[in-house]
Amino acid sequence: MGCSRYPLGIEAELHLEVQDNILSENNGKFILTVSNGRGEVTPGGRGDLHLDIRGLAPLYTGLFTPHQLYLNGHLQGTPTALSVATQLFSGPHPWMADMF
């Protein structure tokens, strides 16, 4: 049985615009399409959710919510894009067992 990365039952598109001042290959507009718990990223889109690369990692991993990233200045977006991002990236906070 496979593990779903995105919540099941949500069908959505999130139009991202990513900025990376170190790796220019990461710059651009992308569409994240989510269906059946799976996501696919393709180039293009409107860039409704604008974030730098420092905001993308904590958004994707669930460390910070879109609202927290917005308040810290790492993310800007339309109310609709923020709502979609909140739905797509909701879930348990990342953790790691402390057994070193």
* DSSP code per residue over 15-81: EEEEE-SS-GGG-EEEEEEEETTEEEEEE-----EEEEHHHHHHHHHTSS-HHHHHHTTSEEE-HHH
Residue 2 confidence (pLDDT): 43
Is residue 14 scored above 80 in pLDDT?
Answer: yes
Is residue 91 scored above 80 in pLDDT?
Answer: no
Run of H or E residues at 86:
helix 79-88
Is residue 46 scored above 50 in pLDDT?
Answer: yes
pLDDT (tens digit per residue) in 31-45: 999 999 899 999 999
Residue 15 confidence (pLDDT): 98
Considering the segment(s) 12-87 as one domain, its CATH architecture is: 2-Layer Sandwich (3.30)
Residue 97 confidence (pLDDT): 76
pTM of the entire predicted model: 0.84
- The domain spans of the chain are 12-87
What sign results for the dihedral spanned by CA atoms 42, 45, 48, 54?
positive
